[in-house]
């Protein structure tokens, strides 16, 4: 129970990030209904593919049923087959790299850097020294913040590796003026209900290669050959976006910039409101990148962390004067009916991936983890996981509600 302050809970829950509808979505959904294109074919699909491709600055966008489905087809296009070793972001949502495993590939996790909370190019370079034969990289832009894409691209080119870029969280964010989702050989965005714009579900595969776009379209619609009957030379999937979902996406596209501006305002209010506390907001490279501010996160200074222990499915902490920890703040937020979330727990710490290799700046990360257990230093991902958290970042949160949330956060450090 949280006892450092008592604030009246919100009557209506303040969400981490919830869908924001504007009206046009219903118009395009109704159009699908009235023209009877209640299918995976129709005007909305054609239109969103065109609009998103233009917006992102990529030749082809293929509308699919989810970001995860798009990642799956991206892995197939990238040539991942059983046994293929793949360098993957470590601190990310599991959907970034589960599709590697769908194809029988073997993720090797690359540690995170502190500047943007994304894949560390230094650790990636180290990984190529350890595994020079690897030809695939799967990299995510976390919480809407672009990673060090130039450096990652340079390393990929040096070793002749293909990049799959997971821009599911970062749609609309730019790095050196270029949209995320265009830095990989294949890119992916998501329209999941909590993303910056949504279709309720859905995703897209992005590519400049017509042959890849055609393959993704074919595979996503059961891989039919051009024949009078159902003729199959390849395994197919039912991954195409519905024309009704595409209607929702179509209605949302004009609001991308507005959502980003609102999310940015949320981020900046937290930054201002938390001034003087031993915390920092999730960082980005202000010179080269413009995030979409999808989630506002913060990280607590080491000296200001109270004792916090996490098991596989439970936690405990010791509340302390002048100090706090993510689990205490998350409890405090839950107590006022506001939704926060821990940072993505790094993949190398997940039971399902415990046997996979993990590479840090100085080499074998598994050795690092063992050293930590023996009293050494945490790897970067585990450090951010243990000291960081995602704050309620809903674009519909009012300044009054956010002030109350900030008051509760401040109270945690009393
Ligand atoms: C949401 C998300 C996905 C998956 O997208 P879905 O559309 O939900 O399948 C993949 N990667 C990251 C980093 C995500 O946040």
What is the CA angle 67-257-90, rounded to 5?
40
Q: Does the C-beta of 203 come closer than 6 Å to ligand 1?
A: yes
**Mutation pick for ligand 1 pocket among 16, 52, 65, 67 (CB with most ligand atoms within 8 Å):** 67
pLDDT of residue 372: 64
Portions of the chain given CATH number 3.90.1150.10: 256-412
Q: Does the C-beta of 169 come closer than 6 Å to ligand 1?
A: yes
What distance in angstroms lies between residue 171's CA and the mean position of ligand 1's atoms?
11
Q: Which CATH architecture has domain 24-254?
A: 3-Layer(aba) Sandwich (3.40)
What distance in angstroms lies between residue 308's CA and the mean position of ligand 1's atoms?
29
What distance in angstroms lies between residue 72's CA and the mean position of ligand 1's atoms?
11
Residues 317, 319, 321, 324: is their CA dihedral positive or negative?
Answer: positive
pLDDT tens-digit map of 15-33: 999 999 999 999 999 999 9
Q: Does the C-beta of 97 come closer than 6 Å to ligand 1?
A: no
Q: Does the C-beta of 327 come closer than 6 Å to ligand 1?
A: no
**Mutation pick for ligand 1 pocket among 16, 19, 66, 68 (CB with most ligand atoms within 8 Å):** 68
pLDDT of residue 368: 66
- Give, using CA atoms, the residue closest to atom 14 of ligand 1: 168
Q: Which residues of 153-188 are buried (b: 16+ CB within 10 A; e: fewer)?
A: bebbeebebbbbbbbbbbbbbbbeeebbbbbbbbbb
What distance in angstroms lies between residue 305's CA and the mean position of ligand 1's atoms?
30
pLDDT tens-digit map of 270-289: 999 999 999 999 999 999 99
User: 305 in helix, strand or coil?
Assistant: strand
CA–CA gap between residue 316 and residue 81 (Å, rounded): 42
What distance in angstroms lies between residue 195's CA and the mean position of ligand 1's atoms?
8
Dihedral pair phi/psi, residue 97, rounded to 5°: -125, -10
Cβ–Cβ under 8 Å, residues 293 and 260: yes
Between 376 and 170, the higher pLDDT residue = 170
Q: What is the DSSP string of 334-379?
A: HHTTB--EEPPPPGGGSGGGTTS-EEETTEEHHHHHHHHHTT-PPP
pLDDT tens-digit map of 215-244: 999 999 999 999 999 999 999 999 999 999
Cβ–Cβ under 8 Å, residues 140 and 148: no
Q: Which residues of 38-71 are buried (b: 16+ CB within 10 A; e: fewer)?
A: eebebbbbebbbeebbeebebebbbbbbbbbbbb
* First-last CA distance in the chain: 16
Residue 377 pLDDT exceeds 90? no
Portions of the chain given CATH number 3.40.640.10: 24-254
Q: Does the C-beta of 144 come closer than 6 Å to ligand 1?
A: no
pLDDT band at 373 (very low <50, low <70, confident <90, very high): low
Q: Does the C-beta of 343 come closer than 6 Å to ligand 1?
A: no
pLDDT of residue 364: 78
- Give, using CA atoms, the residue closest to atom 5 of ligand 1: 67
What distance in angstroms lies between residue 77's CA and the mean position of ligand 1's atoms?
18
Residue 300 pLDDT exceeds 90? yes
pLDDT of residue 180: 98
CA–CA gap between residue 116 and residue 367 (Å, rounded): 25
Overall average pLDDT of the 303-329 stretch: 97
CATH of 256-412, one of 3.50.30.30, 3.40.1550.10, 3.90.10.10, 3.90.1150.10: 3.90.1150.10
């Amino acid at each position: 129970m949280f006892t450092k302050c008592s604030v009246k809970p919100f009557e209506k829950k303040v969400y981490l990030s919830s869908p924001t509808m504007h009206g046009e979505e219903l118009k395009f959904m109704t159009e699908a209904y009235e023209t009877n294109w209640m299918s995976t074919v129709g005007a909305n699909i054609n239109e969103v593919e065109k609009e998103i491709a233009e917006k992102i600055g990529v030749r082809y966008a293929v509308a699919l049923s989810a970001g995860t489905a798009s990642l799956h087809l991206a892995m197939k296009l990238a040539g991942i087959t059983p046994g293929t070793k793949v360098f993957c972001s470590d601190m990310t949502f599991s959907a970034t790299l589960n599709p590697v495993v769908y194809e029988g590939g073997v993720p090797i996790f690359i540690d995170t850097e502190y500047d943007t909370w994304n894949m560390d190019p230094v650790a990636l370079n180290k990984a190529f020294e350890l595994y020079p034969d690897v030809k695939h990289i799967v990299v995510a832009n976390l919480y809407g913040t672009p990673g060090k894409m130039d450096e990652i691209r340079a390393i990929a080119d040096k070793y002749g590796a293909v990049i799959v870029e997971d821009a599911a969280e970062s749609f609309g964010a730019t790095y050196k003026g270029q949209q995320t989702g265009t830095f990989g050989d294949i890119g992916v965005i998501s329209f999941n209900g909590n993303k910056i714009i949504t279709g309720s579900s859905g995703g897209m595969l992005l590519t400049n290669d017509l042959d890849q776009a055609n393959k993704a379209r074919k595979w996503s619609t059961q891989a039919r050959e051009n024949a009078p009957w159902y003729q199959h030379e390849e395994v197919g999937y039912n991954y195409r976006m519905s024309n009704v979902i595409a209607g929702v996406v179509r209605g949302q596209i004009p609001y991308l910039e507005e959502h980003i501006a609102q999310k940015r305002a949320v981020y900046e209010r937290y930054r201002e409101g938390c001034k003087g506390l031993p915390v920092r907001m999730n960082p980005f490279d202000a010179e080269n990148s413009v995030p979409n501010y999808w989630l506002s996160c913060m990280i607590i200074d080491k000296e200001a962390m109270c004792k916090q222990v996490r098991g596989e499915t439970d936690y405990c902490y010791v509340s302390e004067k002048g100090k706090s920890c993510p689990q205490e703040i998350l409890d405090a937020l839950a107590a006022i009916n506001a939704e926060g979330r821990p940072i993505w727990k790094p993949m190398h710490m997940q039971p399902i991936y415990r046997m996979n290799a993990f590479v840090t700046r100085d080499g074998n990360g598994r050795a690092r983890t063992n050293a930590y257990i023996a009293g050494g230093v945490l790897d970067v991902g585990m450090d951010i996981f243990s000291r960081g958290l995602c704050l309620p970042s809903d674009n519909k949160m009012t300044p009054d509600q956010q002030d109350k949330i900030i008051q509760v956060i401040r109270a945690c450090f009393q």
